[in-house]
């Protein structure tokens, strides 16, 4: 056993048990107040650095990667001199000797101990609950188990229709599983929603293909070696390959209890977040405070603030309990609730419904103050109601228009600067990081901050979703007066907005914007419906962010992508059928020849991408031309698309005496995998069968050069106006690896390049090292990117020609309205 020895500085020793959100938030607050007071050791049972547990749902749904939800990477611990021990669970606290001992046998002494062990999922004690295939929804390991199960498809049963259960159900549905939710009560999320909102939510989930059974009481989980189903008390049996238990959480107080600390439903703490042992503090979901336990993030942060102040030596800070609000993190379902909305005697209900928009709002008022609020479908005023609820604001002056929200008649709406000036210091500006106005103003004056980036660095305000950026800028202007020079703006997207491509994209993700009008509304576009620069970009960003969910807006597409052919200088079109990997056949060539004769197509040309291009097709002939090509088995070649154009190949080992691998076959596989995708700009691929490189693979967006021992992958090349040879990304051994790298590379480009930015300038902008870090060094990240690519492809591989030739899509595009005169 090794024992921790004090360093010569004789600083106090602080040990934190639990590397989750509450414990680490406490450290962040502490380091801000007293950076040098302690030598800090953190134990984490999970093998990861500190991550944002509330974002596990988007990870499950494939909307975020693990890297995107990491709050503090290992470099943060290093930079702050914190000794981080992950994957090592603390098992014993020896209060007499002030030491803790972990699973590995390591013993560390403390002067102050902070217990932040969080909570564990409640597993209902029915037969079968320990079978393999039964998981909770609590940590990354659970998410990995679910993703693994979902990859095989099949059926999932989620027990519990509360916040966590529904987020799990949605994620698993998105991942392709057939999901049933079992809920004991009549109303989903009955602790957060009233019946009306619960019914709307149920309807929306059912529309997404989730089966919801309410009043469903689980009797048994069935299975022999692993889960095969769930049996209900009414005898009904549901087949299942995966069972997710999401009936609730329980404070994880075992460690404290074993150490003899006073425990009730959790580890009991006073208003100073101190346990029955004055050397031991506790924060987060493991504590019981004034008889309450909490399972949401906001109270944890409030506790962390107090614990940090106390650890820093303060004697004033006190936690007095939290009023909480809830938001469901299911993309496209906006649900918010706060306070007490059961209503009743002396309470007044103000209700607003808009069936067409699927909006339901209910605000409960008692004695002129807001007691609770439930919002469904339109939650943008949730923060406003919640602030008034917490502050006990008199609502009489705005009573008549209260339900319509802040922007309707609320004070100061017309002048944002005055509105920010009027806020009290305690008003929360940044909801993501819980930063209030006073903190920001103090940081600006005391630390001499002069711009947004500095405010972000010092306070974290506006550092997450960015939706409070405007308010933070107002605060800079208010605090510094003429001393505020404003922000050096990067080039905005277009004249309709001041925001850059990257800012708009971040906002689409963070604010879950789902339509072009939503983006323009929320980001305050200056034009009614944008312009020819921003609309196609927004359409692409939304399509990329919300695969399967976003409905493509044809009116925001350039004509070529709208009619799936290339407009020529005389207003006719050119048509290029797909030839997989450049392969064709007598049947295809005969069909092409017949089409050329039948429609008197004037020019036929072989393209640089190994396809045949038919020039001079009249617009009104397009549907008939496509129908004939479709009949011979050909589909659109997407020669018009900001998407995958072609995979060019040489013949490779099948025929060539120099060929090392089956380059043609691999090209066909790559094209089958990637066709139909939409990308920021066009994408061309190639596969050469040997280093002689006859397919010119090293000036492509992605080129594969086969060698005896495998495949070299080259990226970021371009043979256009500015010729750029590819950079070598990596060498791999199998075709499967080539496919995975290709999917991951395509997705990274799709998610991070700006609209109309080819891979060549993109790779130069972000640097090859960055691309390598994401794709080569990070196998997990690569697999996740590839999975997101394939998921998005599941919605994009319908032949647009067949859809239109059959007359079911965009008929009006191809015929004149009338003939007169």
Partner 1 sequence: MDQSISWITVGSVEDIPRQGSRVVRTGFGDIALFRTVTDEVYALEDRCPHAGGPLSQGIVHGARVTCPLHSWVIDLASGEAVGPDEGCAGHCPVRVVDGAVQLGLAAFRPGRGGCGHG
C-beta of residue 631 within 8 angstroms of C-beta of residue 591? yes
**Cβ-Cβ contacts under 8 Å for 595 (sequence gap 6 or more):** 601, 614, 625, 628, 629
What the block records as the tokens of 814 is 């191809």
Q: Smallest distance from the beta carbon of 556 to partner 1, in angstroms?
A: 7
Task: Considering the complex, state which of residue 341 and residue 525 has its C-beta at the smaller distance from partner 1.
Answer: 525
Phi, psi of 133 (to 5 degrees): 100, -5
What DSSP state is assigned to residue 120? E
Is 531 a known ligand-binding residue? no
Is 656 a known ligand-binding residue? yes
C-beta of residue 114 within 8 angstroms of C-beta of residue 82? no
Q: Smallest distance from the beta carbon of 560 to partner 1, in angstroms?
A: 8
Task: Considering the complex, state which of residue 43 and residue 550 has its C-beta at the smaller distance from partner 1.
Answer: 550
Task: Considering the complex, state which of residue 642 and residue 648 has its C-beta at the smaller distance from partner 1.
Answer: 642
Is 690 a known ligand-binding residue? yes
Task: Considering the complex, state which of residue 130 and residue 819 has its C-beta at the smaller distance from partner 1.
Answer: 819
Helices 759-766, 768-775: axis angle to 10 degrees equals: 90
Q: Smallest distance from the beta carbon of 454 to partner 1, in angstroms?
A: 37
C-beta contacts of 731-734 below 8 A and 24+ residues apart: 731/707, 733/709, 734/710
Closest CA to 91 of 47, 123, 41, 45: 45
C-beta of residue 757 within 8 angstroms of C-beta of residue 505? no
> In DSSP terms, which residues pair with 3 in a beta bridge?
107
Task: Considering the complex, state which of residue 488 and residue 817 has its C-beta at the smaller distance from partner 1.
Answer: 817
| Strand segments (E) across 576-679 | 603-606, 612-617, 644-649
Rounded Cα–Cα distance for residues 174 and 261 (Å): 44
Cβ-count burial of 602 within 10 angstroms (0-12 exposed, 13-18 middle, 19+ buried)? exposed
Rounded Cα–Cα distance for residues 482 and 494 (Å): 28
Q: Smallest distance from the beta carbon of 508 to partner 1, in angstroms?
A: 20
Q: Smallest distance from the beta carbon of 527 to partner 1, in angstroms?
A: 6
Task: Considering the complex, state which of residue 506 and residue 562 has its C-beta at the smaller distance from partner 1.
Answer: 562
Q: Smallest distance from the beta carbon of 720 to partner 1, in angstroms?
A: 19
Task: Considering the complex, state which of residue 293 and residue 539 has its C-beta at the smaller distance from partner 1.
Answer: 539
Helix H or strand E encompassing 347: strand 347-354
* Alpha carbon distances (Å) from 821 to 286, 355, 425, 818: 81, 46, 71, 10
Rounded Cα–Cα distance for residues 596 and 607 (Å): 16
Q: Smallest distance from the beta carbon of 566 to partner 1, in angstroms?
A: 10
- Map residue 428 onto helix, strand or coil: strand
Task: Considering the complex, state which of residue 606 and residue 817 has its C-beta at the smaller distance from partner 1.
Answer: 817
Rounded Cα–Cα distance for residues 375 and 382 (Å): 7
Q: Smallest distance from the beta carbon of 363 to partner 1, in angstroms?
A: 33
Task: Considering the complex, state which of residue 305 and residue 535 has its C-beta at the smaller distance from partner 1.
Answer: 535
Task: Considering the complex, state which of residue 291 and residue 816 has its C-beta at the smaller distance from partner 1.
Answer: 816
Phi, psi of 740 (to 5 degrees): -65, -45
Q: Smallest distance from the beta carbon of 497 to partner 1, in angstroms?
A: 13
Phi, psi of 713 (to 5 degrees): -105, 125
> In DSSP terms, which residues pair with 94 in a beta bridge?
99
Task: Considering the complex, state which of residue 535 and residue 788 has its C-beta at the smaller distance from partner 1.
Answer: 535
- Give the residue carrying structure tokens 């490779």: 652
Is 694 a known ligand-binding residue? yes
C-beta of residue 782 within 8 angstroms of C-beta of residue 790? no
Closest CA to 12 of 111, 108, 107, 100: 111
Q: Smallest distance from the beta carbon of 496 to partner 1, in angstroms?
A: 9
Residue-level length of the chain: 821
Phi, psi of 523 (to 5 degrees): -100, 10
Rounded Cα–Cα distance for residues 122 and 513 (Å): 34
Binding site for partner 1 (CB under 8 A): 527-532, 535-536, 554-560, 562-563, 567, 569, 571, 812, 816-821
Phi-psi region of 549 (alpha: psi -120 to 50; beta: other; left: phi over 0): alpha
What the block records as the tokens of 525 is 């576009």
What the block records as the tokens of 127 is 């037969």
Q: Smallest distance from the beta carbon of 567 to partner 1, in angstroms?
A: 5
Binding residue positions: 650, 656, 690, 694
Binding residue positions for [4Fe-4S] cluster: 650, 656, 690, 694
Binding residue positions for siroheme: 694
């Amino acid at each position: 056993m090794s024992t921790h020895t004090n360093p010569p500085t004789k600083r106090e020793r602080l040990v934190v048990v639990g590397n989750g959100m509450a414990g680490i938030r406490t450290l962040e607050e502490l380091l801000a107040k007293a950076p040098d007071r302690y030598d800090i050791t953190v134990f984490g049972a999970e093998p990861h650095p500190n991550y944002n547990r509330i974002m596990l749902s988007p990870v499950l749904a494939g909307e975020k990667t693990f890297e995107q939800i990491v709050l503090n990477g290992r470099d943060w611990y290093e930079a702050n001199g914190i000794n981080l021990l992950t994957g090592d669970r603390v098992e014993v606290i020896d209060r007499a000797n002030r030491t803790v001992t972990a699973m590995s046998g390591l013993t560390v002494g403390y002067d102050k101990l902070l217990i932040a062990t969080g909570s564990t999922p409640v597993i209902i004690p029915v037969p079968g609950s320990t079978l393999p295939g039964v998981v909770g929804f609590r940590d990354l390991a659970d998410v990995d188990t679910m993703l693994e199960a979902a990859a095989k498809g099949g059926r999932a049963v989620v027990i519990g229709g509360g916040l966590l259960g529904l987020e799990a159900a949605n994620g698993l549905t998105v991942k392709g599983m057939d999901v049933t939710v079992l809920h004991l009560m009549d109303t989903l999320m009955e602790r957060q929603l009233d019946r009306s909102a619960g019914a709307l939510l149920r309807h929306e989930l059912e529309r997404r293909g989730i089966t919801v059974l309410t009043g469903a009481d689980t009797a048994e989980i069935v299975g022999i070696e692993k889960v095969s189903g769930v049996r209900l008390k009414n005898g009904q049996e549901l087949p299942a390959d995966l069972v997710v238990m999401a009936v609730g959480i329980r404070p994880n107080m075992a460690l404290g209890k074993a150490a003899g600390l006073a425990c009730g439903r959790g580890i009991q703490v006073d208003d100073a977040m101190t346990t029955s042992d004055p050397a031991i503090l506790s924060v987060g979901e493991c504590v019981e405070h004034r008889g309450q336990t909490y399972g949401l993030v906001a109270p944890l942060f409030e506790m962390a603030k107090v614990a940090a102040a106390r650890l820093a030596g303060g004697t004033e800070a006190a936690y007095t309990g939290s009023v909480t609000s809830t938001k469901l993190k299911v993309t496209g379902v906006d649900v918010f609730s706060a306070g007490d909305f059961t209503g009743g005697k002396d309470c007044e209900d103000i209700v607003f419904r808009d069936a067409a928009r699927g909006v339901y709002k209910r605000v409960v008022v008692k004695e002129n103050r807001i007691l609770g609020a439930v919002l469904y479908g339109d939650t943008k005023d949730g923060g406003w109601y919640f602030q008034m609820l917490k502050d006990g604001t008199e609502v009489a002056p705005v009573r008549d228009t209260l339900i319509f929200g802040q922007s309707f008649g609320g004070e100061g709406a017309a002048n944002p600067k005055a509105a920010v000036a009027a806020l009290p210091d305690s008003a929360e500006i940044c909801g993501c990081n819980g930063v209030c106005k006073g903190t920001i103003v103090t940081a600006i004056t005391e630390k001499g901050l002069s711009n947004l980036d500095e405010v972000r660095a010092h306070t974290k305000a506006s550092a997450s979703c960015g939706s409070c950026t405007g308010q933070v800028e107002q605060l800079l202007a208010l605090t510094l007066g003429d001393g505020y020079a404003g922000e050096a703006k990067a080039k905005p997207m277009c004249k309709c907005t001041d925001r850059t491509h990257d800012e708009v994209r971040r906002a689409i993700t963070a604010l879950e914007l789902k339509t072009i009008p939503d983006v323009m509304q929320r980001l305050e576009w200056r034009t009614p419906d944008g312009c020819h620069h921003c609309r196609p970009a927004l359409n692409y960003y939304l399509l990329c962010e919300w695969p399967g969910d976003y409905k493509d807006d044809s009116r925001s597409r350039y004509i070529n992508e709208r009619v799936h052919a290339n407009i020529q200088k005389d207003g006719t079109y050119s048509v290029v059928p797909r030839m997989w990997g450049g392969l064709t056949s007598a049947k295809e060539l005969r069909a092409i020849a017949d089409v050329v004769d039948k429609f008197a197509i004037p020019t036929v040309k072989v393209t640089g991408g190994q396809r045949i291009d038919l020039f001079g097709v009249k617009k009104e002939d397009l549907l008939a031309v496509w129908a004939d090509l479709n009949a011979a088995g050909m589909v659109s070649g997407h020669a018009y698309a900001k998407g995958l154009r072609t995979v060019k190949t040489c013949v490779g080992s099948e025929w060539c005496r120099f060929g090392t691998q089956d380059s043609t076959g691999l090209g066909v596989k790559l094209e089958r995998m990637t066709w139909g995708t939409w990308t920021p700009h066009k994408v061309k691929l190639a596969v050469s069968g040997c280093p002689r490189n006859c397919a010119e693979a090293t000036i492509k967006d992605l080129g594969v050069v086969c060698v005896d021992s495998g495949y070299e992958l080259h990226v970021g090349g371009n043979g256009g106006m500015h010729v750029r040879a590819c950079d070598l990304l990596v060498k791999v051994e199998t075709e499967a690896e080539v496919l995975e790298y290709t999917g991951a590379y395509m997705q990274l480009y799709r998610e991070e390049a700006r609209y109309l930015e080819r891979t060549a300038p993109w790779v130069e902008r972000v640097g090859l090292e960055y691309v390598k870090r994401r794709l080569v060094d990070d196998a997990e990240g690569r697999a996740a990117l590839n999975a997101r690519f394939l998921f998005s492809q599941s919605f994009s591989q319908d032949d647009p020609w067949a859809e239109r030739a059959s007359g079911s899509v965009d008929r009006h595009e191809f015929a004149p309205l009338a003939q007169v005169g």
